[in-house]
Amino acid sequence: MKVLAIGTIAVALLGFGLPVSAGEDEFPCRATEVGRALDFWIGEWTVTSTSGEHVYGQNIIEWDAGGCAIHEYWDSARSGRATSLFYFAILEQTWHQVWVTSDTSLPWGLKNKELIDRQGDGTLIFQGQSLGEDGPYLDRTTLSPNEDGTVSQRIDISTDEGETWRAMFDAIYTPLED
């Protein structure tokens, strides 16, 4: 029965002119440098404070939809689970992120961000406006690949429209051992 189902799917995809099996170069979201900008983020990670003393949790980052989407599965050591979807808007040539926790009423429970800066060292900066208990605030995430294979992530917020920023999360992502 599985063979019939796979064959049916293949026929349906071919009927819409979509490739059944494609190499990386055939995926339009992967065709540009900005479309591949989050490659360093893919993996399974242990997340610690920048000093390495406090474990924040674990994170799994996976490709989906031919490289046009990235799923993030966050498992916090203290505050539960969350997920995000990064997606590449090919016509805009930029990445977006939607972050969702199990309680979207909390200030950090639901965030929408857009890539606002790509730096020469591979650092990516996402920013968006979120709604907190005291009203709207700017939320900025900086992801940086490190030479040793780790990733730095810092989340800052501003309640004065970007005049000043306060760090809310500053961590190192280390690849999980196999």
Say if residue 7's pLDDT is above 60: no
Task: Tell me if the pTM is above 0.75.
Answer: yes
| pLDDT level of residue 135 (50, 70, 90 thresholds) | confident
Asked if residue 8 belongs to a domain, the reply is: no
Whole-number pLDDT of residue 178: 60
Q: CATH code at 89? A: 2.40.128.20
Whose tokens are 């909390």? That residue is 106
Across the range 82-100, mean pLDDT stands at 97
| φ, ψ (nearest 5 deg) of residue 54 | -115, 125
Strands 151-158 and 135-145 come out as: antiparallel
Q: Count the domains in the chain.
A: 1
Asked if residue 40 belongs to a domain, the reply is: yes
pLDDT in tens, 141-164: 999 999 999 999 999 999 999 999
Asked if residue 11 belongs to a domain, the reply is: no
Say if residue 15's pLDDT is above 50: no
Please state, in angstroms and rounded to a whole number, the distance separating the CA atoms of residues 130 and 54.
Answer: 27
| pLDDT level of residue 78 (50, 70, 90 thresholds) | confident
Range of the domain at 162: 25-175
Higher-pLDDT residue of 167, 132: 167
Residue 100 identity? V
Whole-number pLDDT of residue 132: 83
Asked if residue 2 belongs to a domain, the reply is: no
Please give the share of the chain, as a percent, with pLDDT higher than 90. Answer: 72
Say if residue 95's pLDDT is above 90: yes
